[in-house]
Structure 1
């Protein structure tokens, strides 16, 4: 599947910036909010942008490496249990999306479980989890391609329902290991600096996780971004990659969550230029490798609250900051409108 992702059209940049500067405030005094307002104005090519039907897609998938428990303290079954929790409204992402009026969609990208067409779950299962990349690539190239296409198609559906700002979350026991491998491949940072706690690995267990992933990294030599995603990724990560690419192609504003989603973005960015133009980085995850990935991308997120839950929670919590940026741009008076004269008489 080919994507056409164009750079931002900056022909309105001076007009939008002028509008920002004439608000009843010192120039630049709203800091990052001004940068967000300008970016979204450029994405939507208007000086009066809007945030329509905000949506977060949470992709869930299992990883073959997790079946042995070498890199994860939680058993693989937790993935399916958390999917049920999402569907029953009991997870953190449910609470935050409800709080901020964000639509939430849960996607079975490849969970090792039959959900029997349960209400509220989007069935996009590629397979019952990936293969164990200790022995072979996590997925075939065809499976990876299908996952990318599926993620893109789901974004198209959301876009056709009137959404212009979208975020992504994930659930998958073992996916911090997959993200670490992808991070190391794309950034060239040594694998031991990419491996973090995940769902709570510490001490000797973390050293074992690093050793296992170092062995995996040395075993495989992917020759391209797509091959790396197929070798090390998960179905939920590949779907997120496709979703990001399609959202950028459709000129949607993309909220980037934490470690796993950023790994998917790094893969997307390696495949296509200009993706980053459409991304707002929500938060800095406490997962060890996330800050290094952000440095690699030369991006600074909106908040750092010590979160590392995933699920898209960072994107949901940061969303009100983005609404504030659009609110001041559209609703704050200019000096002329407010009859405020700042010139010396």
Structure 2
């Protein structure tokens, strides 16, 4: 055996990592790894950890350090982190889903989804705040020649960015489906997923019913983006700033989707974003639950289920579901 070099002894020896963050001095609540990195979750932030061997796998530089980098300004205290990321960490478990289920990939998808949903919430909050300031400040007085109509700074750009993030979340939701069900190689992804789910679980299964109920939302977000990027006469997304109506009233900024299958009437943008945020979080959370529930195995000889935990027994107030096994006629939570 070749003699170990100093760099080998250093890299293979015991070590500690201290995360120094003056804005978040809370302890590490949780650590997990996905297909790319190891992560730590503190109360107000999430960090990606890279070891020296990840940076310098050939071990050419003994001075390369282990590193940590903040990737999210939100952590364990945040409700979306609890509902999506921590739920994924709790349910995407190889011992429950089997070795063939790509649990680390599922965690990567869920982490990206959490980040995007948080960014969408920030866009909505800032736009709502800007709009509120304009409304409360009132319009400049009409001096008899032309009425000044206010404008929200960079409205079009901000809404377009929001639409793209929403569509990316839609793609990630579909990626979670595809971890367990075939989507085919053509463009009929949703049709193929539905056929695969139906074949495995039956037409009358709760999963097929859930898919049918939410398929229209997944199509809507795709059509919303297409209507913005590739507008046609009967398929287009219309973004309007403050707009004076014939009756003399001034509408707040609005959005409209003109589409024969998934139309959206002209709606105030702030209210629209609030509804989209709620809808996508609900779908993402439920798809994690449904995919895991319908692909889990038993725990030894015990029957298993995914159950909703009472609030007082949750590790995180917003992480609602966990695995449970049936013992003496009762469901006992696992973890």
Question: Under a length normalisation based on structure 1, what TM-score does the superposition of the two structures give?
Answer: 0.23
Question: Under a length normalisation based on structure 2, what TM-score does the superposition of the two structures give?
Answer: 0.23
Larger Rg: 2
